[in-house]
């Protein structure tokens, strides 16, 4: 067992699971989508992207590409969350929530691709 | 993404991840710890506020714009994250510095830069493998002629020296073994702009390896290889090197020419001289009894040259050699006794040809003492000993690197020059002296440029057009006229005219040119530039050849009733 591989797989899967946890629920209901879960998904995605830096292989390049896509989508969602007008008590309008969650759902798809690549890569290795 | 960026990112993974985590923890803390606003009401940062605060604090910018003053709990947390983030940054910076000094990383960086430079070369260029004394000499000469080159050498010091050369154009250089075909490809050997590969290392095996790789990977590119022995030369020639230069054999050949026809020798060394040098006075090795000290790769070639000219030779060598009819005296030749035994008093000349410069000088000095006025030929092995040999002032100093450089220049400038030199080899002294006189009257004593002009649609479209008409004679002299004043002569002389399979040496300048003729000119670089418009521009051609300023436009032609 290789610790580097464990850490690598851990972050990729964690990025996908956190993203999934955030996205699941009614799309426009702010109660179903917690800001901390979004924050965690974002940070873990950044870490996963950094871990993918510098791999020269074709698989490595695809890995990095999926992470960059996920990060881009999440960054867009974060921007909306920061800039969108809130209600007097800090509540978020359902329309805003809808865009945030749909963008995050896109990121989730990229993360799922990343996990699939990880699994395929692992099964292709004989050891 | 290039290789260097990939390596950098991989090496910096750990510090970047650490920084991301420090930021994340810091943001979580800042958002969770409740603050107090001016009115004493509880207040919380949003995630974005916290990120903003972290960004300017952790990067030590310290912007100081905070929505509300912090309370004690927040300050405790901020103190902690400041330390954590400073450590994170320090770690990243330390890693960056290590990376910048890392040898492997710098090699990758330099290789990337080299490749980009080679890719950016849009003009024809040569690849020089081995940038020692010889390579450097050839490189400099090419630069003076305005020809680009790429250098590969195994020694880092030599490549660094290239930076100090003060060349007119940048020469991409790479530290690497030229035997490695990948390095040759990186140096642009397979690119269409590559005009040739010069392999000039002091290792015959390496030169052979380069010749083979070029032959296999890009058969259309000519290879010029240096070799130090006849065996290696034969080997390289059979493996497809187009030109093999053995400095010892070349010297022997030139020595034989110098003995037979000193003028031809003088003319040849002038035409192939390094740019910036001038016509040397004639050195004629006298006929008579010669002594050759050191019978190695060099000595044997020299002896062969002397024997070929029917001269009497005595050899001095420390080893017992089986030389047949030649007389051998055992010893170094540095002491008077040995030289006496070899008959120095009756000798006309001595060759100091061992592979040790100090020994060679000692031989030459002793010989001059024993017989003042003796003709001395001294072999110089290392360029660093140049001052010593200049101080001694031998009649001929043999420097391998210069011989190879001369040969390269003769072959690279234009193949026609090589053809002309072949003819010169067979001519007698009086002929050569006349040629030198004629050239010197027009060109002066500086080493001339040599160039080829072909009467075809590509090289000379304007002349080509005129040559197709019977009523428009163009002579060789017309190509030597100044474009601003046709009665002034350009500083150039036609050396050779090629018509079909015939070649005319020093053609009569009143001769009419025909389509398909090829002419070799020697002259000043300025003359070469000035000649170009005559070949390409019809108006300039009309003025230079016919002496009339034909108006260029149709209306003016109508108006003045002139036609071309």
| Whole-number Å distance between alpha carbons of B244 and B233 | 6
Q: Are B460 and B531 in contact (CB under 8 A)?
A: no
- Model confidence over B301-310: pLDDT tens digits? 888 888 888 8
The pLDDT assigned to A12 comes to 93
Q: How far is CA B413 from the centre of its chain?
A: 12
Number of Cβ atoms within 10 Å of the Cβ of B346: 12
Of A43, A54, A81, the CB nearest to B24: A43
- The CATH number of the domain holding residue B97 is 1.10.287.70
Q: Is B523 part of a structural domain of the chain?
A: yes
Find all residues with CB under 8 Å of B182, minimum gap 6, and list them.
none
The pLDDT assigned to B346 comes to 86
Mean pLDDT of B419-436: 86
Band (pLDDT 50/70/90 cuts) for residue B234 is confident
Same domain, B169 and B216: yes
Same domain, B75 and B50: yes
Q: Are B395 and B370 in contact (CB under 8 A)?
A: no
Q: Is B315 part of a structural domain of the chain?
A: yes
Residue of A nearest to B49 (CA): A82
Q: Pick the residue of B5, B12, B24 with the most A CBs within 10 A to test the interface with A by mutation.
A: B24
Of B11, B13, B28, the CB nearest to A50: B13
The distance of A30 to chain B (nearest Cα, Å) reads 16
Same domain, B96 and B135: no
| Whole-number Å distance between alpha carbons of B496 and B521 | 7
Of B6, B20, B46, the CB nearest to A43: B20
Same domain, B230 and B277: no
Over B485-533, what HEC string results? Answer: CCCCECCEEEEEEEECCEEEECCCCCCECCCCCEEEEEECHHHHHHHHH
Of A47, A54, A78, the CB nearest to B20: A47
Q: Is B46 part of a structural domain of the chain?
A: yes
* Cα–Cα–Cα angle for B497, B502, B508, rounded to 5 degrees: 40
Same domain, B181 and B277: no
Longest dimension (CA), chain B: 119
Same domain, B122 and B78: no
Mean pLDDT of B347-357: 89
- Tell me the count of A-B CB pairs closer than 8 A: 40
Residue A39, chain B, CB below 8 Å: the answer is: yes
SS3 of residue B12 by DSSP: coil
Q: Give the count of domains, chain B.
A: 4
Q: Pick the residue of A47, A55, A92 with the most B CBs within 10 A to test the interface with B by mutation.
A: A47
Find all residues with CB under 8 Å of B294, minimum gap 6, and list them.
B316, B317, B333, B352, B353, B354, B355, B359, B360, B379
Q: Is B107 part of a structural domain of the chain?
A: no
- The CATH number of the domain holding residue B484 is 3.30.70.1450
Residue A56, chain B, CB below 8 Å: the answer is: yes
Same domain, B256 and B395: yes
Flag if A53 and B17 touch (Cβ within 8 Å): no
Band (pLDDT 50/70/90 cuts) for residue B553 is low
- Residues in chain A within 8 Å Cβ distance of B6: 53-54, 56
Find all residues with CB under 8 Å of B262, minimum gap 6, and list them.
B282, B283, B284, B429
Same domain, B35 and B158: no
Residue of B nearest to A60 (CA): B6
* Both tokens assigned to A113: 């691709």
Of B391, B415, B439, the last residue of a domain is B415
Band (pLDDT 50/70/90 cuts) for residue B1 is very low
Q: Are B351 and B363 in contact (CB under 8 A)?
A: no
What is the pTM assigned to this prediction? 0.67
| Whole-number Å distance between alpha carbons of B34 and A57 | 47
| Whole-number Å distance between alpha carbons of B14 and B227 | 52
- The CATH number of the domain holding residue B159 is 3.40.50.720
Flag if B47 and A39 touch (Cβ within 8 Å): yes
| Whole-number Å distance between alpha carbons of B374 and B397 | 14
Flag if A56 and B13 touch (Cβ within 8 Å): no
Same domain, B373 and B269: yes
Find all residues with CB under 8 Å of B80, minimum gap 6, and list them.
B29
Same domain, B235 and B93: no
- Residues in chain A within 8 Å Cβ distance of B28: 36, 39
- Model confidence over B497-514: pLDDT tens digits? 888 888 888 888 888 888
Flag if B13 and A51 touch (Cβ within 8 Å): yes
Of B10, B28, B47, the CB nearest to A53: B10
Flag if A53 and B46 touch (Cβ within 8 Å): no
Q: Is B386 part of a structural domain of the chain?
A: yes
Of B6, B28, B48, the CB nearest to A56: B6
**Closest Cα to residue B6, out of A83, A41, A57, A113?**
A57
% pLDDT > 90, chain B: 7
Residue A82, chain B, CB below 8 Å: the answer is: yes
- Model confidence over B452-507: pLDDT tens digits? 888 888 888 888 777 777 778 888 888 888 877 888 888 888 988 888 888 888 88
Q: Is B227 part of a structural domain of the chain?
A: yes
Same domain, B74 and B154: no
Residue A7, chain B, CB below 8 Å: the answer is: no
Flag if B17 and A43 touch (Cβ within 8 Å): no
The full set of domain ranges for chain A reads 3-124
The distance of A49 to chain B (nearest Cα, Å) reads 9
Q: Residue B377 is part of which domain span?
A: 250-415
- Model confidence over A45-54: pLDDT tens digits? 999 998 888 7
- Model confidence over B210-232: pLDDT tens digits? 988 888 888 888 888 998 888 88
- Residues in chain B within 8 Å Cβ distance of A54: 6-11, 13
Same domain, B64 and B203: no
Q: Is B111 part of a structural domain of the chain?
A: no
Q: How far is CA B334 from the centre of its chain?
A: 37
**Closest Cα to residue B99, out of B5, B2, B1?**
B5
The pLDDT assigned to B552 comes to 57
Q: Is B192 part of a structural domain of the chain?
A: yes
Q: Which residues pair with B449 in a beta bridge?
A: B523
For residue B528, give Cα distances in angstroms to B146, B406, B523: 13, 21, 7
């Amino acid at each position: 067992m290789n610790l580097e591989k464990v850490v690598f797989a851990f972050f990729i899967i964690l990025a996908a699971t956190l993203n999934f946890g955030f996205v699941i629920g009614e799309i426009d209901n702010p109660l179903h989508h917690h800001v901390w879960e979004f924050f965690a998904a974002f940070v873990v995605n950044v870490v996963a992207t950094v871990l993918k830096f510098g791999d020269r292989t074709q698989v490595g390049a695809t890995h990095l590409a999926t992470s960059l896509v996920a990060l881009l989508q999440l960054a867009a969602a974060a921007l909306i969350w920061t800039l969108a007008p809130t209600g007097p008590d800090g509540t978020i309008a359902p329309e805003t929530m809808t865009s945030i969650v749909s963008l995050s759902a896109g990121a989730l798809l990229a993360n799922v691709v990343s996990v699939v690549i990880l699994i395929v890569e692992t099964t292709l290795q004989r050891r | 993404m290039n290789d260097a960026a990939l390596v950098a990112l991989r090496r910096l993974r750990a510090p970047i991840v650490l920084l991301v985590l420090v930021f994340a923890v810091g943001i979580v803390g800042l958002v969770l710890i409740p603050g107090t606003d001016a009115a004493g009401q509880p207040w919380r940062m949003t995630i974005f506020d916290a990120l903003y605060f972290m960004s300017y604090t952790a990067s030590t910018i310290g912007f100081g714009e905070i929505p509300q003053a912090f309370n004690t709990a927040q300050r405790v947390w901020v103190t902690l994250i400041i330390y954590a983030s400073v450590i994170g940054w320090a770690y990243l910076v330390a890693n960056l510095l290590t990376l910048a000094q890392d040898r492997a990383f710098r090699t990758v960086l330099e290789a990337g830069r080299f490749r980009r430079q080679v890719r950016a070369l849009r003009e024809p260029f040569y690849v020089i493998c081995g940038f020692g004394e010889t390579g450097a000499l050839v490189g400099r000469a090419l630069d003076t002629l305005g020809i680009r080159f790429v250098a590969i050498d195994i020694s880092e010091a030599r490549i660094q020296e290239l930076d100090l050369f003060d060349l007119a154009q940048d020469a991409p250089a790479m530290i690497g073994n030229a035997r490695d075909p990948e390095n040759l490809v990186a140096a642009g050997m397979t690119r269409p702009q590559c005009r040739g590969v010069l392999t000039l290392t002091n290792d015959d095996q390496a030169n052979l390896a380069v010749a083979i790789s070029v032959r296999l990977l890009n058969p259309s590119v000519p290879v010029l290889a240096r070799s130090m022995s006849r065996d290696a030369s034969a080997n390289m020639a059979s493996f497809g090197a187009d030109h093999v230069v053995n400095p010892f054999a070349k010297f022997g050949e030139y020595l034989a020419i110098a003995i037979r026809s000193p003028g031809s020798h003088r003319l040849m060394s002038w035409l192939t001289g390094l740019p910036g040098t001038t016509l040397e006075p004639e050195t004629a090795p006298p006929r008579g009894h010669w002594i050759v000290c050191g019978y190695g790769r060099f000595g044997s070639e020299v002896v062969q040259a002397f024997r070929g000219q029917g001269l009497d030779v005595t050899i001095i060598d420390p080893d017992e050699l089986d030389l047949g009819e030649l007389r051998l005296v055992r010893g170094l030749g540095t002491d008077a006794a040995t030289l006496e035994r070899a008959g120095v008093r009756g000798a006309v000349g001595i060759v100091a040809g061992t592979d040790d410069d100090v020994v060679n000088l000692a031989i030459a000095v002793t010989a001059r003492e024993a017989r003042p006025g003796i003709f001395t030929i001294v072999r110089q092995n290392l360029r660093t000993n140049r001052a010593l040999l200049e101080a001694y002032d031998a009649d001929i100093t043999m420097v391998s690197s210069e011989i190879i450089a001369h040969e390269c220049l003769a072959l690279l400038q234009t193949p026609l020059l090589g053809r002309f030199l072949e003819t010169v080899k067979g001519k007698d002294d009086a002929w050569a002296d006349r040629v030198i006189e004629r050239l010197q009257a027009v060109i002066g004593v500086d080493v001339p440029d040599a160039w080829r002009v072909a009467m075809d649609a590509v090289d000379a479209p304007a002349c080509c057009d005129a040559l197709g008409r019977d009523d428009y004679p163009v002579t060789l002299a017309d190509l030597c006229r100044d474009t601003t004043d046709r009665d002034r002569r350009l500083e150039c002389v036609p050396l050779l005219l090629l018509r079909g399979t015939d070649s005319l040496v020093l053609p009569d300048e009143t001769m009419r040119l025909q389509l398909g003729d090829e002419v070799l000119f020697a002259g000043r670089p300025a003359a070469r530039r000035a000649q170009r418009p005559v070949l390409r521009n019809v108006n300039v051609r009309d003025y230079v050849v016919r002496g009339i300023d034909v108006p260029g436009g149709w209306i003016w032609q109508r108006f003045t009733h002139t036609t071309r």
